[in-house]
Amino acid sequence: MEKNISAIYDKNTVEFVTVAAEFCGFLERTGEMKRRPFVDKALKLLPLLYLKASLLPEYAERMDEFDPETFVTEGDYERVRAGVAALMGRYDDYLDVFLDDMAYSDTPICQTISEGLADIYQSVKDFICVYQLGLGRTMNDALVVCRENFSEFWGQRLLNVMRALHDVKYNVRQETEEDVDGPLPAVFDADANYTEDDLYEGLDTGEDE
């Protein structure tokens, strides 16, 4: 029992709790953000959350027969999902191949960033809420459940969402003037009849005098 209880105060557990709490708070504040800062922050938090989850102590085992209490309601889940969906707009959808349903499909399945983040939020927030109660046995079991859910479900969800967010951030040709602060960078048009002077216009060729 002492070995199990020590897992909830392990350095890696405490660091995961810190990052997880920041992640949950971040998703609960989507109404205060714009798309670009949201995507930028998400792409910083998600890798850190994945790293800290992968370092959770593996020696902890369940101490009670039943799962710990859950706290995230359907309403909580939907508020997070709807908030992210509204923020992402038409960029919320993406095609995914890392799903169990792909065993029955020959083509990628449409997923949404908002639902993926809400799925991660639900599992992580339930753990945080139990951890904050300060009851050793339930804290330990919530840690074990969260670690299991990470390996079986939301860890892959996190990676899929990161790929979609990366595409939103760096595929500039999808952006419009309304989505960015300032003018868009010029995009090279392969079909245009550029001359050599056009291609080098405005560049310092570095020729020696």
Ordered by start, the domain boundaries in the chain are: 2-174
Given a cut of 90, whether residue 135 has pLDDT beyond it is yes
The class level of CATH for 2-174 reads: mainly alpha
Distance CA 59, CA 156 (A): 22
What is the pLDDT averaged over residues 46-71?
A: 94
Q: How many CA atoms lie within 13 A of 137 on its CB side?
A: 7
Token code pair at residue 142 = 């919530």
What is the pLDDT averaged over residues 146-171?
A: 95
Given a cut of 90, whether residue 179 has pLDDT beyond it is no
Name the band, by pLDDT with cuts 50, 70 and 90, for residue 99: low
What is the pLDDT averaged over residues 124-137?
A: 95
Q: Note the pLDDT of residue 198.
A: 53
CA angle 106, 109, 115 (to 5 degrees): 160
Given a cut of 80, whether residue 149 has pLDDT beyond it is yes
The average confidence (pLDDT) of the chain is: 83
Q: Note the pLDDT of residue 96.
A: 78
Given a cut of 90, whether residue 98 has pLDDT beyond it is no
CA angle 168, 169, 174 (to 5 degrees): 50
Distance CA 189, CA 198 (A): 12
Given a cut of 60, whether residue 171 has pLDDT beyond it is yes
Token code pair at residue 73 = 């309601």
Distance CA 169, CA 166 (A): 5
More confident residue, 65 or 78: 78
Q: Note the pLDDT of residue 178.
A: 47
